[in-house]
Amino acid sequence: GAVVSQHPSWVICKSGTSVKIECRSLDFQATTMFWYRQFPKQSLMLMATSNEGSKATYEQGVEKDKFLINHASLTLSTLTVTSAHPEDSSFYICSGQGTDNYGYTFGSGTRLTVV
């Protein structure tokens, strides 16, 4: 079945540094990639939607200059957390959808800890 590979699985970084998270669709073309954030004991919250070749659409309250999303190809989308702060520590997960509407395929998530 469709697989989205997300890396890294976990990362610890210093406050003020930037972290890049990659999501690759391995056997399908993800025309749309969604990025979610999940704080402990809370539901997934959508951060942004990206369509291949277009600028991402950010949800209200999500800083686009802080969370840079690139979806340059149908198989790769990246989320860069710039100038990370401890409050950015969270679980980030991507999900991709191809042209066939078989539901969403999720990455395995990235646990970001900013110290």
N residues, the chain: 115
- Site map 92..111 versus another protein, x via CB under 8 A: -x-x-x---x-xx-xxxx--
- Residue 75 makes CB contacts below 8 A (sequence gap 6+) with 24, 25, 26, 29, 30
Q: Which is nearer to another protein, 51 or 80 (CB)?
A: 51
Site for another protein in 21-80 (CB under 8 A): 31-32, 34, 36, 42-44, 46, 49
Q: Rounded distance, CA 47 to CA 51, Å? A: 14
Q: Which is nearer to another protein, 28 or 36 (CB)?
A: 36
Q: Which of 80, 91, 83, 82 is nearest to 113 (CA)?
A: 91
Contact residues for another protein, defined by CB under 8 A: 31-32, 34, 36, 42-44, 46, 49, 93, 95, 97, 101, 103-104, 106-109
